[in-house]
Amino acid sequence: MKPSRLWSSLLSFAALMAIIPMAAIAAPDALGDHSARPRGNTVVTLGSNAELPVDGRADAVIALGGDVNTAGDVRDAAVALAGNVRATGLVGDAVVAIVGDVYLNSTAKTVVAVLGDVELGPDARVSSEVVTIGGTIKRDPAAVISGTTQSVLLGGFAHPDGLRSWIRHCGLLARPLALDLDLYWAWGLALGFLALYALLTLSFREPLQRCVETFERHPGRAVLTGLLSLVLVPVLVLFLVVTVVGILVVPFLGIAVMGAMLFGKAVMLVWIGRRVHRSAPPLVALLIGGLIVLALYLIPVVGLVVYKLLGGIGLGVVAYTFLLALRVEKPVRPAVMTEAAAPAAIPADDTLLPRAGFWSRMAALFIDMVLISMVVHLVADPGAGVFFGVLVIYAAVMWKLRGVTIGGSIVGLKLVRTDGKPIDWATAIVRALGCLLSMAIGGLGFLWIAFDKERQAWHDRIAGTAVVKVSRGIPLI
């Protein structure tokens, strides 16, 4: 088997692993029949072992979630997904085990084990190559390999019994969890994520409550937003990659979407818990919802559907709540002035000015980043570290000296301390460094502006500052 054909085969089987749950949904009767089913001259089993006796003949022998044992002759390939392959009869082409081990004591062209070991007996004859990914090769001195041997990540993995068990008991039944001792790691992951959702619930109670209320009031719009997000995010990523410059944004976008989905799952668990106990505190509601969802994860097909729905709807709820928070409130019409009416007094304290919203602040940040990028690239072609370093220094100096950056002056913003005191060096530097934190975690620190009642980002909370609107841009000179 040529290398290109070998990797094409591996990619094909990887795709097969992805569609196993859909196959289980489309043909659930196959899960109940654990006997070998000949398909023409091909033996295929689902969830059980595939056997070919000494006097047997087959074009191929395939086991999904079981072992393959071929003592007869196989014209093409012997393949096991989440199982081991033992071939003592002639194999015309390839012997492949994905998440399993291979034992060959006969003739074959190619031997491949993904996350498993290869053992060649004394009568083994391999005319092309032997490949292991995450495993080892054990070869009897009498075994013959006419081609090459390749070991990727040699010794980097132990026997993947847990993963093999998950594919057999969960993947083939389209569910995330099952009651099996080998799946302790899967239960550990599930409980670990539940602990993470609990931490998010305790840390962000107000935004979580707003998201729950959004789903209760606008369930249809939230679901529609989730569907649109799942469709539009890949399109947006493709657009950013095509523009080349936008490639730098792709990691932040990915982290932001993942963070929104995690937070959205916490929201959905709280919502489910409150269907059982309406007045339960958020943490108690989350634990109730978590136990219900873990129980649903054990049900074939239903478990996979619930898992997918939680992520998609949760993303939609967070996205729609964010969109609602970005709505610009309609200005209140001023009362008609009479002779006795006096003009409204202008606030003497800048902290009493209206707070700047998300979009105006992002516009100011974008202008500043473009200007700094232009200036820095005139001097050299630096990396991202130098760019952000210059941006931090620029912002700190401008906030201390003028209370606003160039972008903020153009948009009409001003930085103030919430205690009314002037901006000092300590406040400016702490806020500038805090901006890196807000940006590093997928930009969540900046997105916080849309959810926060005081319109403060994370770095505003850290430095004790706020951004207000001014009627006229602050002169920089």
Residue 348's pLDDT band, with cuts at 50, 70 and 90, is low
The pLDDT value given to residue 245:
61
What is the C-alpha to C-alpha distance for residues 268 and 35, in angstroms, rounded to an integer?
A: 41
The DSSP bridge pattern shows strands 465-469 and 50-52 to be unpaired
Average pLDDT over residues 224-242: 82
What are the structure tokens assigned to 98, written together?
């994905």
Residue 9's Cβ-side half-sphere holds a number of Cα atoms within 13 Å equal to 24
Q: How far is CA 257 from CA 200, 273, 286, in A?
A: 16, 24, 21
The pLDDT value given to residue 158:
47
22-26, 307-311, 462-466: segment of lowest average pLDDT: 22-26
Highest mean predicted confidence (pLDDT) among 207-216, 243-252, 386-395: 207-216
Sheet holding 102-104, edge to edge: 50-52, 68-70, 85-87, 102-104, 118-120, 137-139
Contacts of 429 (CB under 8 A, 6+ apart): 396
Residue 339, pLDDT > 50, answer no
State the alpha helices, DSSP H only, in 87-218.
161-169, 184-203, 205-217
Average pLDDT over residues 80-96: 90
What are the structure tokens assigned to 186, written together?
């899967």
391-416: pLDDT as tens digits: 888 999 999 888 899 888 888 899 99
62, β-bridge pairs = 44, 79
The pLDDT value given to residue 380:
63
39-43, 275-279, 447-451: segment of lowest average pLDDT: 39-43
352-374: pLDDT as tens digits: 888 888 888 888 888 888 888 88
- DSSP single-letter state for residue 248: G
Average pLDDT over residues 202-212: 88
The pLDDT value given to residue 295:
93
The pLDDT value given to residue 366:
87
Give the chain's domains with CATH numbers. 3-164 (2.160.20), 175-325 (no CATH), 350-469 (no CATH)
The pLDDT value given to residue 337:
46
Residue 286, pLDDT > 90, answer yes
What is the C-alpha to C-alpha distance for residues 229 and 89, in angstroms, rounded to an integer?
A: 52
Residue 452's Cβ-side half-sphere holds a number of Cα atoms within 13 Å equal to 20
Contacts of 359 (CB under 8 A, 6+ apart): 326
The pLDDT value given to residue 3:
45
Mean per-residue pLDDT over the chain, rounded: 80
What are the structure tokens assigned to 121, written together?
């007996």
Our separate counts of H helices and E strands in the chain read 15, 17
